[in-house]
């Protein structure tokens, strides 16, 4: 890294502070976002996870937990559409035994209790909320251990100089199984709940004697119990417990005033039917200015079979885990491991650029968000309920580009999983269900193409060509090497092209809402055609490396598709977006609405279909017509009339979602196209515009978390202009990251090494990057004395000048020093 002076760091920090908003700020040192008041426009959330046991945590203690699948294996409840919003959660109640006053140290669910202070720190897979009320400061840190157990690590401090006697209650509402069934069939589903208290080990255990796992609403369900027991335990001696929500809360009450807490009792309820909760009560004596620490644990253990022996086995398994963590100091150790895992993850790519916002996002938040999209796809957020379609194939493939430099092993695993969801003909499940298996085949003709794309990206990153020989089964029988799987993906799309080599749109392409353009099998998608071209070009490149004859075949096909796209899809000033079954052009000069779509322009460039004048022209058209103060709209002008031959996009209100919002995923591809065209200043400006901390963001309008990208920002075409939605789980995260690392900073993995090819603003005089590549760490300093946009003059590796701008993999496991001199 460059030696940044104390002054620079100071001004960097000042700039960070300036971009903080009235609800919080970034603590760069701690790698946390700090929320300083609880009344944010919406809940601002975070993820806790060990990769299997996961939960969402809002800054006021809301959220839910699940094991692998948020739909099929939901542990705790969260009420969609709830008023007050964001209920329930992982709540702790503190009750002063002398006065009877009680409150929740996370603000919710007791918002009428005035807090003297509030702070929430969201970090990578942990959240710490600290509040002061009635002279008691309480800090709860939520995180998950490797044992499939979440921890609420609590520290309580007396601040007024008088001794206090407190009751401490934990509380969660349990779903125990299928979350959608819990919502739509709760009056029946609750008859299978079973909550027991194990007095010897002081653990509350809960399960369900029925588990719906078939995907459709059918009476033909498996004859099975939920395959887990949830447990809750405390490191404090347990004085009472409750498993019945009705008893604990009491009639006509809510989480705000549970009767048990109000009365300072527990009813010691175990249930065999009814709405289940887990609540433990303990007593705590706090001397004046005294401090106490304790933990609440909640987790899952497997349920194997039925009957007493099986129940006892689960109880023993839970007790065994809990005992290990009841040892003082153990949990602190576990938390420190989590922090060092974070640092290890991030160490693969760190930058120091004269751009503090980019430093902040690339060094931490953007990497964290892509790790999260890798882990959760679009399956579990406050916007994706985790109840419907499971995971999207195309999303899961793209998300895999995120952890590629930090965790190539994860990507290898994902590739195996995705190849295993392919059918013999090369088609794939469009969406699939983790844990319970299966999926849905829809006929989208972009979906299969994302597999070759990640396989090739993996090869360029790792050089691990042995993966191509791995034998992976097809969904419908038989098996083949991974190489064959990706050939079949490309082959399947070939079978979905018309006589002009253009790809049919079928029930939709990347844009899910162009869903009625091509159901009769005649409509074509230019985006699919460009993505297909891109994959053909990449396949040709791969076969050249493999020295196989197929390279020529792919190259010829690429050339034919490219020529045809340019012949049939060019519309004078830009590329059209699609042709529907009626033969009508969509996204054309001649269209009344939806005249231009940015994806068609971006992908024409990304795929190499558009070159020279045409490439410049189509991107200029996109910039001219789709620019807003928040970035580029997905299309312009938005549809105001429903068109049944286009579909859902035209049913959505103008300015939102795929009907003309700044849809960040599409926006990120436009930035990529500009970077490919070496339009550095524009790309950099748009990169900043996309950041949720751009100075133009009015956070009260924006509403969602400022530390992660959201799916879309409402365009000026709607009165709620500037409002964002679907934060966290969006494909834009991975592309914003890789655009910046690979094309803007310009450190791009190729088959034979790491290419240095930046595209930077001319006022960047120097920047540096630390990047892990094939096991080695490269400390790369870029010098730009002449103020150009990144043209490489020379590359010096460990003191020796290289020919060209490709650093061959050193492969000795040592750190390497690279200096790249840039010119005009």
DSSP track, 751-788: TTEEEE-----TT--EEEEEEEETTEEEEEEEE-TT--
In what helix (H) or strand (E) does residue 290 lie, and over which residues does it extend?
none
Structure tokens at 625: 């017509």
Strands annotated E in 374-443 = 391-392, 431-432, 439-440
C-alpha 768/C-alpha 470 separation (Å) is 37
- SS3 (DSSP) at 19: coil
CB of 656 to ligand GLC, least distance (A): 13
- SS3 (DSSP) at 503: strand
Name the pairing type of β-strands 164-177 and 74-76: antiparallel
303 versus 577: smaller Cβ distance to ligand GLC:
577
Quick check: is 512 catalytic?
yes
378 versus 630: smaller Cβ distance to ligand GLC:
378
49 versus 659: smaller Cβ distance to ligand GLC:
659
Name the pairing type of β-strands 471-473 and 578-579: unpaired
- Which residue's entry shows tokens 């720190």? 121
Bridge partners, 58 (sequence order): 45
Bridge partners, 142 (sequence order): 127, 152
C-alpha 305/C-alpha 61 separation (Å) is 34
Bridge partners, 129 (sequence order): 120, 140
CB of 40 to ligand GLC, least distance (A): 24
227 versus 394: smaller Cβ distance to ligand GLC:
394
- Helices (H), ranges, 264-365: 308-326, 330-346, 356-360
706 versus 731: smaller Cβ distance to ligand GLC:
731
614 versus 630: smaller Cβ distance to ligand GLC:
630
Using CB atoms, what's the residue nearest to ligand GLC? 512
Could you tell me the CA-to-CA distances from 58 to 35, 336, 712 in Å, in that order? Answer: 11, 22, 21
CB of 537 to ligand GLC, least distance (A): 22
- Count other C-beta atoms under 10 Å from residue 681's C-beta: 14
- SS3 (DSSP) at 95: strand
- Count other C-beta atoms under 10 Å from residue 535's C-beta: 26
CB of 665 to ligand GLC, least distance (A): 6
Task: Using CA atoms of 188, 207, 201, 328 in order, give the dihedral in degrees to the nearest 10.
Answer: -110
In what helix (H) or strand (E) does residue 512 lie, and over which residues does it extend?
none
Note the residues at the interface with ligand GLC (CB under 6 A): 378, 392, 394-395, 510-513, 658, 665, 711, 731
Tell me the CB-side half-sphere exposure of residue 589, using CA atoms within 13 A. Answer: 9
CB of 714 to ligand GLC, least distance (A): 16
CB of 378 to ligand GLC, least distance (A): 4
CB of 439 to ligand GLC, least distance (A): 14
Could you tell me the CA-to-CA distances from 116 to 222, 520, 541 in Å, in that order? Answer: 52, 63, 63
CB of 129 to ligand GLC, least distance (A): 30
CB of 396 to ligand GLC, least distance (A): 10
Bridge partners, 207 (sequence order): 194
Could you tell me the CA-to-CA distances from 713 to 26, 46, 694, 728 in Å, in that order? Answer: 22, 20, 12, 13
Structure tokens at 770: 């630390």
Closest CA to 638 of 598, 593, 603, 679: 593
450 versus 458: smaller Cβ distance to ligand GLC:
450
Residue from 395, 512, 643, 742 carrying the catalytic annotation: 512
649 versus 780: smaller Cβ distance to ligand GLC:
649
C-alpha 813/C-alpha 817 separation (Å) is 13
CB of 379 to ligand GLC, least distance (A): 10
C-alpha 316/C-alpha 12 separation (Å) is 53
Q: Which residues are catalytic?
A: 512
């Amino acid at each position: 890294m460059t030696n940044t002076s104390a002054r620079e760091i100071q001004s960097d920090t000042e700039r960070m502070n300036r971009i903080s908003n009235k609800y919080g700020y970034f603590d760069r040192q701690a790698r946390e976002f700090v929320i300083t008041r609880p009344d944010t426009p919406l809940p601002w959330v975070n993820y806790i996870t060990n990769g299997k046991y996961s939960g969402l945590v809002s800054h006021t203690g809301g959220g839910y937990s699940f094991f692998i699948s948020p739909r099929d294996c939901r542990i705790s409840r969260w009420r969609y559409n709830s008023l007050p919003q964001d209920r329930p959660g992982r709540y702790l109640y503190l009750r002063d035994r002398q006065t009877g006053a009680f409150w929740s140290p996370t603000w919710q669910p007791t918002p009428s209790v005035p807090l003297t202070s509030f702070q929430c720190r969201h970090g990578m897979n942990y959240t710490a909320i600290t509040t002061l009320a009635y002279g008691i400061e309480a800090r709860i840190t939520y995180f998950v251990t490797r044992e499939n157990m979440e921890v609420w690590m609590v520290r309580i401090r007396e601040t007024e100089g008088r001794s206090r006697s407190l009751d401490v209650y934990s509380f969660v509402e349990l779903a125990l199984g299928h979350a959608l069934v819990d919502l739509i069939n709760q009056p029946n589903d609750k008859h299978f709940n079973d909550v027991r208290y194990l007095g010897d080990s002081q653990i509350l255990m809960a399960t369900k004697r029925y588990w719906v796992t078939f995907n459709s609403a059918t009476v033909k369900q498996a004859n099975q119990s939920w395959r887990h027991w949830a447990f809750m335990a405390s490191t404090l001696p347990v004085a009472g417990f409750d498993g019945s929500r009705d008893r604990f809360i009491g009639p006509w009450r809510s989480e705000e005033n549970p009767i048990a807490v109000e009365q300072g009792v527990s009813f010691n309820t175990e249930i065999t039917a009814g709405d289940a909760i887990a609540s433990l009560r303990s007593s705590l004596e706090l001397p004046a200015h005294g401090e106490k620490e304790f933990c609440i644990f909640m987790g899952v253990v497997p349920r194997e079979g039925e009957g007493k022996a099986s129940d006892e086995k689960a109880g023993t398994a839970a007790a065994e885990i809990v005992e290990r963590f009841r040892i003082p100091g153990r949990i602190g150790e576990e938390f420190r491991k989590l922090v060092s895992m974070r640092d290890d993850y991030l160490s693969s790519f760190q930058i120091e650029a004269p751009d503090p916002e980019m430093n902040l996002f690339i060094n931490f938040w953007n990497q964290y968000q892509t790790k999260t999209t890798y882990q959760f796809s679009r399956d579990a957020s406050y916007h994706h309920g985790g109840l419907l379609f499971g995971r999207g194939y195309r999303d899961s493939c793209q998300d895999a580009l995120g952890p590629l430099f930090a965790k190539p092993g994860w990507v290898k695993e994902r590739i195996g999983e995705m190849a295993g969801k392919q059918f013999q003909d090369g088609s794939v499940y469009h969406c699939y269900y983790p844990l319970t298996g299966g999926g849905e085949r829809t006929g989208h003709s972009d979906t299969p193409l994302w597999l070759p794309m990640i396989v090739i990206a993996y090869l360029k990153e790792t050089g691990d060509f042995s993966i191509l020989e791995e034998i992976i089964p097809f969904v419908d029988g038989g098996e083949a090497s991974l190489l064959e799987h990706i050939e079949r993906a490309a082959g399947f799309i070939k079978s979905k092209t018309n006589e002009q080599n253009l790809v049919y749109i079928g029930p939709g392409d990347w844009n899910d809402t162009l869903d009625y353009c091509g159901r009769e099998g005649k409509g074509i998608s230019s985006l699919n055609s460009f993505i297909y071209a891109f994959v053909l070009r990449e396949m040709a490149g791969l076969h050249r490396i493999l020295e196989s004859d197929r390279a020529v075949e792919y190259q010829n096909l690429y050339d034919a598709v490219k020529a045809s796209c340019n012949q049939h899809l060019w519309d004078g000033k830009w590329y059209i977006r699609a042709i529907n079954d009626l033969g009508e052009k969509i996204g054309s000069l001649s269209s009344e609405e939806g005249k231009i779509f940015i994806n068609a322009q971006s992908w024409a460039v990304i795929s190499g279909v558009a070159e020279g004048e045409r490439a410049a022209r189509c991107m200029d058209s996109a910039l001219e017509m789709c620019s807003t103060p928040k970035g580029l709209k997905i299309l312009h002008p938005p549809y105001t009339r429903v068109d049944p031959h286009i579909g859902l996009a035209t049913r959505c209100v103008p300015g939102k979602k795929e009907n003309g919002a700044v849809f960040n995923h599409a926006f990120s591809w436009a930035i990529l196209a500009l970077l490919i065209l070496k339009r550095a200043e524009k790309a950099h400006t748009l990169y900043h515009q996309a950041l949720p901390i751009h100075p133009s963001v009015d956070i009260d309008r924006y509403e969602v978390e400022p530390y992660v990208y959201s799916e879309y920002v409402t365009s000026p075409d709607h009165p709620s202009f500037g409002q964002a939605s679907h934060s966290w789980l969006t494909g834009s995260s991975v592309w914003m990251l890789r655009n910046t690392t690979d094309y803007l900073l310009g450190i791009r993995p190729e088959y034979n090494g790491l290419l240095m090819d930046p595209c930077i603003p001319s006022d960047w005089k120097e920047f540096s990057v630390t990047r892990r590549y094939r096991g080695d760490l490269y400390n790369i300093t870029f010098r730009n004395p002449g103020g150009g946009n990144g043209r490489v003059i020379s590359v010096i590796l460990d003191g020796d000048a290289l020919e060209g701008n490709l650093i061959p993999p050193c492969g000795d496991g040592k750190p390497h020093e690279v200096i790249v001199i840039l010119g005009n």
